[in-house]
Amino acid sequence: MSLTLEKRDTFSTLTNFLVPVISIVVALLIGALIISLSGFSPLTAYYEMFAGAFGSGYSISETIVKAIPLMLCALGVGLAFKTVLWNIGAEGQLYVGAWAAGWVALSFPDGQSWWLIPLMMLAGFIGGALWGLIPGILKASMNVNEIITSLLLNYVAILGVDYFVYGPWKDPKGYGFPFSPFFGQGAWLPTFFGTRIHLGIIFAVLAALILYYLLKSMRLGYEIRVIGENVLAARYAGMNIFRTILIVFAISGGLAGLAGMAEVSGVIHRLQHAISPGYGYTAIIIAWLSRLNPIATVIVSILFGGLLVGGFSVRSLGLSESLVYIIQGIILFLLLAGEILTRYRVVWRGGSRG
Amino acid sequence: MNLDIVIATLSATIKAGTPLLLVTLGEILAERAGVLNLGLEGMMLVGALSGFIVCHLTANPWLGLLIALISGAVISLIHAFLTTTLRANQVVSGLAVTLFGTGLSGFLGKMVIGIPIENYFRPFSFPSLGAIPIIGPIFFQQDVLVYMSYLLVPIIAFWIYRTRPGLHMRAVGENPTAADALGVNVYGIRYLYTIIGGMLAGIGGAYLSLSYTPVWIENMTAGRGWIAIALVIFATWDPLRALLGSYLFGLVDAVQFRLQAVGVAVPSFFLNMTPYLATIIVLIFATRETARRRIGAPAALGLSYVREEKS
């Protein structure tokens, strides 16, 4: 008896849709097991999570607030995946973008929105892009493993922001807490409908549309797809791989930087220790789950935003919000296992092999 | 500089380098067999927590160590199944291991935060060797896990280069098709070494919670799993160079700690960055060196093996 995999002749769109859905459902079931093993009722916990994430107008708006940085980071990570580049550094790029935007905001406490916010956006994007270019340049010029470099730079970026909020930029009236003074009102992104949903949602949706157009219709998008599928073919075709890698890392990091800008300008309104609860890492799963499709990225980000908000609300039951990261990890495991089903048929063979 | 301070710093170097060494050795074995496991950070965290909980409950660090080893093995089994049997992408699967392990340890660790343990692996002077001047206090007044790591290095080196199973392992990592044709069980070997890698990652994590710090702190590995992945490249998949690399990083750690302790003018945030920056710099040089000397990664590293159907 043996378990073998046979290649499918056709790709089924139904499986392509079902695999992510079943992955999420099964991950929640395994999560339920973990919850009950730790002595809580999974039904209560999930009810609390769902109500916290989607149960009211307020909770839906909070879910969307969390989805904004996820979308921006996941779009960037997904673009890098498309080129078979692993940008695991969105978390750090987000911090550097937030830092650069915060630097602008703190420099002009009386600045006016019409020029201050575009300047902060530019600073956030450039900050993230430069941070993303470090692993990009090392990869393109010397083939240094970008997974390790981009990831380690996350630790560096977070410590760097900590230095400023514990040190030179600490609010003198903040009772010693690690945060900067509030930005001037001119540096606050406008919000909608009396909720905390801010203009960042427009950045994210625009970025998704631009990336979609770029990949579909522009020469750069074509080069990205060719390099992603076959780097040798791209080289023979005379494509400038060095330049493309740099552009991809700059855009990827820039989008994460913009996420950081949007988070500090739209939600927190100042710099602080721990700006992000791991948006950059969750973005990796979102990018993989949405199969690198920019439109799907938006939808999946909202789902994961809900998971984050729901995870926060189970804390009232005494459960740790780390539950969310367990579930995220399991979703990714199942997704990987399920992907095989879209490409192969699993066949049990009895008796001896021919 | 005072000799005592030098000795104390070098002794701390060995201590700080040991978890890196254990984890790097495990990853070298897995990668030699062709399996890249980016889940080290997650497996270390699960090892650190499970070992700590069991040691807290039973007051027996050895039992804690055993459980850390088993939990590392169990988690790496998921990775082995996904990447070997289901041919999943090794990078993404490894990241999933890290996310899962970080989440699981954070979730279960809430119960034991701030709890001290009475029994842990304490340093003791190794009979006679510990009495040697200078060498003794640096290398032989450590705990039993450090002594075990000294032994593991030559054992693993011998295994890789001088034994038949070691040859099979390298064959699977370099050319699985050829190895398969010679009758080597490619899938079995990849499972075996991925799991051994997971065991060593679990032990490396447990070293942190059962000897280095002896308490549980959330995310106490602080990126050591990722530094170990860089160390494998620095070591060019060689156990002896892994020893060198691990102690080099132990030294960076020990020196920055000492600088913080004496209160130098550099803010601690920048000192805390040094291990990560040092890793990146070392990785750049290691990559250039391996490219120049044409000694690269195992040729089949990161690739799933698809067995041709016999007709």
What average pLDDT does this structure show over A109-116? 88
Contact A4, A349 (CB under 8 A): yes
Give the tokens for residue B270. 């920048």
Whether A38 sits inside 8 A of B103 (CB atoms) is no
Q: How far is B296 from chain A (nearest CA, A)?
A: 12
**What residue spans define the domains of chain A?**
69-289
Residue A322 has pLDDT above 80, yes or no: yes
Q: Please give the pLDDT value at position B226.
A: 94
Residue A345 has pLDDT above 90, yes or no: no
Q: Which residues of B touch A158 (CB under 8 A)?
A: none
Whether A155 sits inside 8 A of B99 (CB atoms) is no
Answer yes or no: is B233 within a domain: yes
Q: How far apart are CA B237 and CA B298, in angstroms?
A: 8
Answer yes or no: is B211 within a domain: yes
Q: Is B100's Cβ below 8 Å from some Cβ in A?
A: yes
Helix ranges, chain A (H): 13-37, 42-54, 57-82, 90-107, 113-142, 146-166, 200-217, 219-229, 231-236, 241-263, 279-289, 294-313, 322-343
**How many domains, chain B?**
1
Interface of B with A in 61-80 (CB under 8 A): 78
Answer yes or no: is B302 within a domain: no
Q: Which residues of A touch B104 (CB under 8 A)?
A: 322, 326, 329
Whether B88 sits inside 8 A of A34 (CB atoms) is no
Q: Is B266's Cβ below 8 Å from some Cβ in A?
A: no
Whether B280 sits inside 8 A of A153 (CB atoms) is yes
Residue position matching structure tokens 């034991």: B112
Whether A163 sits inside 8 A of B229 (CB atoms) is no
Whether B104 sits inside 8 A of A148 (CB atoms) is no
**Nearest CB neighbour to A163, from listed B106, B107, B267:** B267
Q: Please give the pLDDT value at position B63.
A: 96
Q: Is B219's Cβ below 8 Å from some Cβ in A?
A: no
Whether B96 sits inside 8 A of A336 (CB atoms) is yes
Residue from A245, A234, A277 nearest A259 by CA: A277
Residue A257 has pLDDT above 60, yes or no: yes
> pLDDT grade, residue A352 (50/70/90)?
very low
* Structural domain of B209: 3-293
Q: Which residues of B touch A336 (CB under 8 A)?
A: 82, 86, 88-89, 92-93, 96
Residue A256 has pLDDT above 50, yes or no: yes
Residue A184 has pLDDT above 60, yes or no: yes
Instruction: For residue B288, give the amino acid letter.
Output: R
Residue A346 has pLDDT above 70, yes or no: no
Q: How far is A289 from chain B (nearest CA, A)?
A: 11
Q: How far is B76 from chain A (nearest CA, A)?
A: 12
Q: Please give the pLDDT value at position B148.
A: 96
Answer yes or no: is B87 within a domain: yes
Q: Is B90's Cβ below 8 Å from some Cβ in A?
A: no
Residue from B40, B41, B72, B18 nearest B196 by CA: B72
Q: How far apart are CA A261 and CA A123, in angstroms?
A: 8
Answer yes or no: is B116 within a domain: yes
Answer yes or no: is B228 within a domain: yes
Q: Please give the pLDDT value at position B293.
A: 79
Interface test with B, best of A2, A38, A144 (most B CBs within 10 A): A144
- Helix/strand number for chain B, H first, E second: 12, 0
Identify the burial level of A184 via C-beta atoms within 10 angstroms of its C-beta, where 0-12 means exposed, 13-18 middle and 19 or more buried.
middle
Task: Report the run of H or E that residue B195 belongs to, with start and end.
Answer: helix B186-207
pLDDT digits (tens, 9 = 90+) for A25-44: 898 899 899 888 888 888 99
Q: Is A327's Cβ below 8 Å from some Cβ in B?
A: yes
Task: Write out chain B's pLDDT in tens, 311 residues.
Answer: 688 899 999 999 999 999 999 999 999 999 999 999 999 999 999 999 999 999 999 999 999 999 999 999 999 999 999 999 998 989 999 999 999 999 999 999 988 888 888 889 999 888 989 889 889 999 999 999 999 999 999 999 999 999 999 999 999 999 999 999 999 999 999 999 999 999 999 999 999 999 998 999 999 999 999 999 999 999 999 999 999 999 999 999 999 888 888 888 888 899 999 999 999 999 999 998 888 877 778 888 888 888 765 54
Q: Is A185's Cβ below 8 Å from some Cβ in B?
A: no
CATH number at residue B67: 1.10.3470
Q: Which residues of B touch A327 (CB under 8 A)?
A: 103
Rg (CA), chain A: 22
How many other CB atoms are found less than 10 A from the CB of residue B168? 19
Whether A337 sits inside 8 A of B88 (CB atoms) is yes
Residue A160 has pLDDT above 90, yes or no: yes
Residue from A8, A1, A120 nearest A344 by CA: A8
Q: Is A320's Cβ below 8 Å from some Cβ in B?
A: yes
Task: Report the run of H or E that residue B274 belongs to, with start and end.
Answer: helix B268-293
Q: Is A163's Cβ below 8 Å from some Cβ in B?
A: yes
